[in-house]
Structure 1
Amino acid sequence: MDLKDTKFFNVTLLIVATLVVAKLLSVLLFPRSRKRLPPTVKTYPMIGGLARFLKGPVVMLREEYPKLGSVFTLNLLNKNITFFIGPEVSAHFFKAPESDLSQQEVYQFNVPTFGPGVVFDVDYSVRQEQFRFFTEALRVTKLKAYVDQMVMEAEDYFSKWGESGEVDLKYELEHLIILTASRCLLGQEVRDKLFDDVSALFHDLDNGMLPISVIFPYLPIPAHRRRDRARKKLAEIFASIISSRKGTGNSENDMLQCFIDSKYKDGRPTTEGEVTGLLIAALFAGQHTSSITSTWTGAYLLRHKDFLSAVLDEQKGLMKQHGDKVDHDILSEMDVLYRCIKEALRLHPPLIMLLRSSHSEFSVKTREGNEYDIPKGHIVATSPAFSNRLPHIYQDPDRYDPDRFAAGREEDKVAGAFSYISFGGGRHGCLGEPFAYLQIKAIWSHLLRNFELELISPFPEIDWNAMVVGVKGEVMVRYKRRKLSIN
């Protein structure tokens, strides 16, 4: 071995020795991580997780939950999504402060639709103030006035039905609910003069919210271009209405007026852009949930005659007591109808996934006693569509049974908080839940009192391909107007 080879050998030996010593020191000084990471869904490298997710999150959950338990991770491209299934592991998801589990990053795809400066495009402190505007617009005194408008819209809409006929219930309810929402939320100007224009623009906004939009919200595709044009035109329409109201001093009893009158803590009034964005967010949140849930409620009632009889008996009792009058307080007495709606919503929550971004590491313990450490940076997810059907919480969970919520049984309360999460829960529970129930009750109390209904198409299937999961296809119903009101 010559001198050059000897030097090379000595240098190599020194490097190897240094690495070995460094490794030994790291083991001694920095023990191996003791993190108890959740089990991981087995997929093909790189795109396997994406393929499983796009196949359908609920399908994936059905396959993996029996194998991996209530906490597990899916590697999705460069992200890790850790799923929490069931109330035993969901408390941190629903109770954690925004500094620990944040909505903002995971719901950025809403920004092109809602617009800049509102909801998920602002800091948490500003978003909290904007949520306060929603809360004020949905307080009980406001809801009572909204109910009067809901009842009036239902009466007017169904007065156009004939003595008998066949209709697509899904189509009818979708149209009625956007009319009602336009009146209660967007204002009389939209409802009376601009409904067709605004409805068409909202349709383009809605169709611009695709599964691909979640990952690439600004992808230059036709649906996104139509979305952006619609958003711009809506902003112009609402700017004109806001300017007119401020100029004339006219004040209406609707959510638009509430947002116009709202002020931040520092005294700053809302801008036209903020009012527009908040209105769009409100309509998106309420329209889909109400139309989808009202359709499922009807389909189940017409399929289950025993529960249909029960809600009819309830309507008879209320009419004996109050006559034909329907207002906020009377709707609040409709407990049987409430349970029927709640059960339809348990089985078919329109939002099948709720997401957060983890800003700090935390630990969780499953009902089986396993403890896991959830790393910072993971997306944390839970699924109302899956969790609402867990057999250790709900008896025969796939069966429609509104009595599971009746006094003395209350299956959603026996297992503890967050057993029923169709409206979310905790810090980020849906503010519009009371509005949605009142709206659906107003519609169905009118239908039940005034029409005999029969489901003539097959029971509907779930449309898993939609961003907001709803009813697939037509829901054909044969109706016959009652000669007399129920008495």
Structure 2
Amino acid sequence: MGDAEMQGAPVGESAVFDRSKVMMLLGSLVVAAIVGHFVLAWNRKRRNLPPVVDSAVPFVGGLLKFIKGPVPLLKEEYGRLGQVFTLQMLTRNVTFLIGPEVSAHFFKAQEADLSQREVYQFNVPTFGPGVVFDVDYSIRMEQFRFFTEALTVKRLRSYVEMMVEEAHLFFSKWGEEGEVDLKVELEQLIVNTASRCLLGPEIRNSHLEKVTSLFHDLDNGMLPVSVLFPYLPIPAHKRRDRARKELAEIFSKVIKARKASGKKEPDMLQAFMDSTYRSLKRGTTEEECTGLLIAALFAGQHTSSITSTWTGAYLMKYKQFMPAVIEEQKEIMRRHGDHLDYDVLNEMSCLHRAMKEALRLHPPLILLLRQNHTDFSVTTREGKSYTIPKGHIVGTSPAFANRLPYVYKDPDTFNPDRFAPGNEEDVKAGQFSYIAFGGGRHGCLGETFAYMQVKTVWSYLLQHFELELTGPKFPEVDWNAMVVGIKGEVMVRYKRRQLTCD
């Protein structure tokens, strides 16, 4: 018993002592957290840092808000905090710049100050190693030059010829009248066109169905969660990786066969095969051609099919704009007949404005991001100045910024005339008020190609068919991917016709 008593007392004292230590430790942590909060707040005020998005759960809360929906998040915080604010996600700080007044540096900055590579690493599993965001800046700029050389006016002229042929072939299979899901139809047509112009006749004629299926898996493997966790072992990523591997095998066989035959084709694949690195003093490898080709297809095919569908859907809903577009087609036919080429498409200013307005409302990319390497300052419309610290990720959102009410009147309404001569709301608001294709140093290289592609589709449709939306409601946005699509069906009734020139 003596031993028990001897042992009992120290145990009791130890328990009291441990509880005391725990309470003291917890108290210290609480005090440290409070002090830390005020120190951070003081430091933020002293350095003039942007306000921070509130989160009920520190660190994790910002991530949950982001994954739930970037655009709703931006809309809410813009209304509460203004044009500049910071979202804390795990160990990362993402500072958003919303509006032309604060985003100029984002678009104009040198790569050494604001870089793409770190934040777009989530593209590497899709595009593959050794291309675009998996290489340093100097090599990436050379690869972007390859894209530019593949999209010269001379090459665009030949691409338009292919686009017209594909449109004629595709729509000749429609009957005299009927009903179709326009989204599905245009997706297939754009796949056909992109395959013909970018991938070449080998893919278009022999592997199209397989490539289309694989590309679908590749596209669906890029989700909002992929931005932060591109290698997360989820089913969508596993399908993406399998699709990337199979696409590489198909493209590799085509490249090998083309090299062996010595035959040259007027497509983007050939342009990549013939490209040469000036700094490395060598040509492109088979693997690089494959990666660049996937990047080009990813950038051009899906975005063009979405934009084609939105353009037509809005013209059919807002019928007051259709007569001007139809009359433009009649005028084009009076001067050129039913001939379409690069120069004729460039004359279609009404159709161009309709497409531009559809892109304003629905730019395919939700977010544009950069890694900040140097402190810089921005000033809001209200005159508030903030310092954006080195180390922050900096972002802007075409999907949100293109609908700012002080830039665009009735911003949620489709109105192509806002871009008509004399109106030009984007011009009046200043540079970077319209960012559907990005802007500045990293503007979209395929912008002209996209306009040509969509104009070809709709010029052909308007000249040959009467069209009417028949769905119970107007199409909705599908936010469940990085390239924002259209939810559900877009049902359209068509009737074949031929526009007269009188």
Amino acid at match of 2:357: E
User: 1:46: how far off?
Assistant: 2.8
Partner of 2:315: 301
Q: 1:474 aligns with which of 489, 495, 499?
A: 489
Q: 1:282 aligns with which of 296, 299, 318?
A: 296
- CA distance in 2: counterparts of 1:250 and 1:398, whole angstroms: 50
Aligned sequence identity (%): 69
Is residue 120–residue 133 contact of structure 2 (8 Å, CA) maintained in 1? yes
User: 1:422: how far off?
Assistant: 0.4
- CA distance in 2: counterparts of 1:459 and 1:198, whole angstroms: 31
User: 1:211: how far off?
Assistant: 2.4
- CA distance in 2: counterparts of 1:63 and 1:223, whole angstroms: 29
Amino acid at match of 1:199: T
Q: CA 1:441–1:428 in 2, change beyond 3 Å: closer, same or farther?
A: same
Q: 1:270 aligns with which of 263, 281, 284?
A: 284
User: 1:223: how far off?
Assistant: 2.3
Q: 2:94 aligns with which of 76, 81, 92?
A: 81
Q: CA 1:32–1:60 in 2, change beyond 3 Å: closer, same or farther?
A: closer
Partner of 1:386: 400
After TM superposition, the score normalised by the length of structure 2 is 0.89
After TM superposition, the score normalised by the length of structure 1 is 0.92
- CA distance in 2: counterparts of 1:430 and 1:461, whole angstroms: 25
The 5 Å alignment of 1:5-154 reads 34-44=46-56, 45-154=58-167
Amino acid at match of 1:384: P
Tell me the alpha carbon deviations over residues 363-413 of structure 1, each in whole angstroms, 9 at most, x when there is no partner.
Answer: 111111111111111010101111111111111111111011011111101
Amino acid at match of 1:481: R
Partner of 1:251: 264
Deviates further, 443-452 or 407-416: 407-416
Q: 3-state DSSP class of the match of 2:344?
A: helix
Q: CA 1:479–1:131 in 2, change beyond 3 Å: closer, same or farther?
A: same
Count of aligned pairs between the two proteins: 458
Tell me the alpha carbon deviations over residues 456-478 of structure 1, each in whole angstroms, 9 at most, x when there is no partner.
Answer: 11111111122211211100000
User: 1:484: how far off?
Assistant: 5.9
- CA distance in 2: counterparts of 1:389 and 1:484, whole angstroms: 35
Amino acid at match of 1:307: F
User: 1:225: how far off?
Assistant: 2.1
The 5 Å alignment of 1:213-228 reads 213-228=226-241
Amino acid at match of 2:469: L
Is residue 452–residue 481 contact of structure 1 (8 Å, CA) maintained in 2? yes
Q: 3-state DSSP class of the match of 2:466?
A: strand
Q: 3-state DSSP class of the match of 1:34?
A: helix
Please tell me whether residue 464 in structure 1 is matched to residue 479 in structure 2.
yes
Tell me the alpha carbon deviations over residues 236-256 of structure 1, each in whole angstroms, 9 at most, x when there is no partner.
Answer: 211111111111110000000
Partner of 2:390: 376
Partner of 1:239: 252
- CA distance in 2: counterparts of 1:484 and 1:129, whole angstroms: 46
Tell me the alpha carbon deviations over residues 168-207 of structure 1, each in whole angstroms, 9 at most, x when there is no partner.
Answer: 0000001100110000000110001111121121122112
Is residue 364–residue 485 contact of structure 2 (8 Å, CA) maintained in 1? yes
CA RMSD after TM alignment: 1.5
Amino acid at match of 1:431: L
Partner of 1:21: none
User: 1:486: how far off?
Assistant: 5.5
Please tell me whether residue 313 in structure 1 is matched to residue 327 in structure 2.
yes
Point out where structure 2 has 5 or more consecutive residues left out of the alignment: 1-38
Partner of 2:3: none
- CA distance in 1: counterparts of 2:226 and 2:95, whole angstroms: 21
Tell me the alpha carbon deviations over residues 245-294 of structure 1, each in whole angstroms, 9 at most, x when there is no partner.
Answer: 11111000000000000000042100000000000000110112111111
Q: 3-state DSSP class of the match of 1:165?
A: strand
Please tell me whether residue 292 in structure 1 is matched to residue 306 in structure 2.
yes
Deviates further, 132-141 or 216-225: 216-225
Amino acid at match of 1:433: E
- CA distance in 1: counterparts of 2:400 and 2:152, whole angstroms: 31
User: 1:42: how far off?
Assistant: 1.0
Amino acid at match of 1:379: I
Q: 3-state DSSP class of the match of 1:381?
A: strand
Q: 3-state DSSP class of the match of 1:157?
A: helix
Is residue 222–residue 481 contact of structure 2 (8 Å, CA) maintained in 1? no
Is residue 449–residue 486 contact of structure 1 (8 Å, CA) maintained in 2? no
Q: 3-state DSSP class of the match of 2:96?
A: strand
Q: 3-state DSSP class of the match of 1:385?
A: helix
User: 1:210: how far off?
Assistant: 2.2
Q: 1:164 aligns with which of 160, 177, 183?
A: 177
- CA distance in 2: counterparts of 1:218 and 1:39, whole angstroms: 31
Is residue 450–residue 485 contact of structure 1 (8 Å, CA) maintained in 2? no
